[in-house]
Amino acid sequence: MADPLPDPFMLNQWFPISALQDVHDRPRRTTLLGEPLVYFRDGSGCRVTGADGRALPVLEQYACLWTTLGRPEGGLFPIPEYDEPDRRNIAAGSIGVNVSAMRGIENFLDMGHFPYVHTGILGELPHTEVKEYNVELREGGREIVATECLFYQPRASTVSTSGADVEYVYRVPHPTCSVLYKSSPMDTRRLDVIALFGQPTGPESFRGHMVLSILDDVNADDFISYFQLHIFGQDKPILENQMPKRLPLDPRAETPIRADKTSIMYRRWLASNGVTYGVIPAAA
Amino acid sequence: MIRLYDFDLSGNCYKARLLLAILGVEYERRNVDFFPGLKHREPEFLAVNPLGQLPVLEDGDLRLAQSQAILVYVARKYDPSGRWYPLDSPEIAGQVQQWLGFAEGLTATASAARLADGMGFDFDAEAARDGAHKLFAVMDEHLWFQERQGQDWLAPGAAPTVADIACFPYVMLSEEGGISRETYPAIRRWTDRVKRIPGFVVMPGIFPAVLGSQ
Ligand SMILES: N[C@@H](CCC(=O)N[C@@H](CS)C(=O)NCC(=O)O)C(=O)O
Ligand SMILES: [Fe+2]
């Protein structure tokens, strides 16, 4: 089956293609929406070239190199916390996953799997309850935000010393990127930021670039990356066993349980933006 | 105390952790940021293993690289029953060794496909997958015949050996490299048995026999 062409909404997005720390003089190859790209660094910064050798637009933001195959309307969604001087901003790793990027985002938004998949870290039996929370569209419908998500976590972060009820906020400001905020064990008034930036390499595969902006003045970068990769490594087999590999948008394919409220909103939002890439559109 | 130079997502490191856990041996994990840091290629780690490969185990004055060698050493040293690395029967000892060699083939194929797909390493993933399927077919047939003879493990005998530990990780992680185990039912039954060995521990990408229990 020939690879599908991206729909206009997807085509005109910025996408991450590498962590900045992985961009060197020696060119590296990657794929975006089925198109092979080459990226490297020269005297003036990062460069990306497309399949036909043309130079593509670049952004160097949030510890990643971003590019586009279309014409995005503006820049990237804001993450103001990223600029706060006392935070640690870390690209924790870029992992390839054999499933659509939208499946990756949906899993990222779901707290229900924590006790089963991240046992002893992000959840623990018998604490399986996802309490009532709130989901809404903000920024004139450009962004999904879920708030008041509470979950018991035995070891919420690298600096946790005991279990705690942790509060989460999730943002989906981009079809394949999500930013989550969770209570910081270091400072009760502030939130740690964990972003999953999805690079759709094809309709059924993506690279997940994990970027953290957290309060941790104790641990080395190595350990923070280790912790994040450990968690993502646990998600990987769950993701790769999902069938179908593209995200179904048909409302009848949705399971209306409370934990899935964000996911239902996400699927509708993709549908209303005309997304067909990486998903199975609802029958007309 | 024993020190293991270790990377969490490495199947070769995991096999050392798995046997140490099953035998109840305490050790210190020294994290080497293989990915994304590529720290195994830096001078600090090259001084430990000039080949730049994980895992490496240190015990007293001994420093040992190569995961299969580590399994043999740990079993001989810390398993008083001798079950994990049986030497009494030349036939069995030979077969255990054969499967330790087979595990190297799994590293060269199933593991390479996983590193290419998951961590962007520059390997030929298609060739690696083809190679892995050839090995899986051989292993599946072998395990099927073993089962017919009332044998649960790779090498003959009532108990699992280092051969099972050596082959388990990259078989179990194969789907991360796009290698399905759907057509290998005897392999699937064998991986379920491995997960039920007392003391079994998991790594990211491998779940316990009962979800949520570890
Ligand atoms: N034959 C070795 C292979 C070990 C191996 O491939 N380790 C990987 C990590 S899983 C590694 O360090 N690779 C770096 C390299 O080979 O350059 C063993 O069994 O220990
Ligand atoms: Fe997860």
How would you write the pLDDT of chain A (284 residues) with one tens digit per residue? 457 899 999 999 999 999 999 999 999 999 999 999 999 999 889 999 999 999 999 999 999 999 999 999 999 999 999 999 999 999 999 999 999 999 999 999 999 899 999 999 999 989 988 888 899 999 999 999 999 988 889 988 888 888 888 899 999 999 999 999 998 888 888 999 999 999 999 999 999 999 999 998 888 888 889 999 999 999 999 999 998 999 999 877 756 555 588 999 999 999 999 999 999 998 86
| Residue ending a domain, choose from B78, B112, B139 | B78
Q: What is the span of the domain harbouring residue B154?
A: 90-195
CA B122 vs CA A99, A210, B104: distances in Å:
20, 21, 19
**B53: Cβ below 6 Å to ligand 1?**
yes
Token pair 């998600």 in the structure block, residue: A235
Q: How many CB pairs under 8 A join A and B?
A: 74
Pair (B67, B94) in one structural domain:
no
Q: Quick one: chain B helix, strand, coil %, rounded to 5? A: 50, 10, 40
Q: Report which protein residue has its CA nearest ligand 1's atom 9.
A: B54
Hey, are the CB atoms on B120 and A97 less than 8 Å from each other? Answer: no
Contacts of A204 by beta carbon, 8 Å cutoff, 6+ apart: A98, A99, A100, A245, A246, A278
Atom of ligand 1 nearest to the CA of B65: 20
| A45 falls within a domain | no
Out of A93, A125, A233, closest to residue B36 by CB: A93
- Specify whether the CB–CB gap between B208 and B49 falls below 8 A: no
- CATH, residue A253: 3.90.380.10
Q: What is the span of the domain harbouring residue A188?
A: 78-280
| A114 falls within a domain | yes
Nearest to A11 by CA among A57, A70, A65, A51: A70
Pair (B96, B45) in one structural domain:
no
| Distance between Cα B113 and ligand 1 center (Å) | 14
Pair (B53, B33) in one structural domain:
yes
| B212 falls within a domain | no
Pair (B96, B136) in one structural domain:
yes
Q: Report which protein residue has its CA nearest ligand 1's atom 2.
A: B66
**Domain count along chain A:** 1
| A8 falls within a domain | no
**B67: Cβ below 6 Å to ligand 1?**
yes
Pair (B143, B47) in one structural domain:
no
Residue A149 C-alpha from the chain's centroid: 18
- CATH, residue B23: 3.40.30.10
Give the B-side interface with A, CB within 8 Å. 8-9, 31, 33, 35-37, 39, 117-120, 175-176, 178, 203-207, 211-214
- Specify whether the CB–CB gap between A152 and A164 falls below 8 A: yes
Pair (B113, B53) in one structural domain:
no
Hey, are the CB atoms on B36 and A19 less than 8 Å from each other? Answer: yes
| B207 falls within a domain | no
Q: Is it true that the peptide bond before B36 is cis, omega within 30 degrees of 0?
A: yes
Pair (B106, B145) in one structural domain:
yes
| A274 falls within a domain | yes
Pair (B71, B107) in one structural domain:
no
Helix (H, G, I), strand (E, B) or coil at A45: strand
**Domain count along chain B:** 2
Q: Where are the alpha helices (DSSP H) in B30-183?
A: 43-46, 67-78, 90-106, 112-119, 125-148, 162-172
pTM: 0.92
Characterize the bridge pairing of strands B2-6 and B27-31.
parallel
| A65 falls within a domain | no
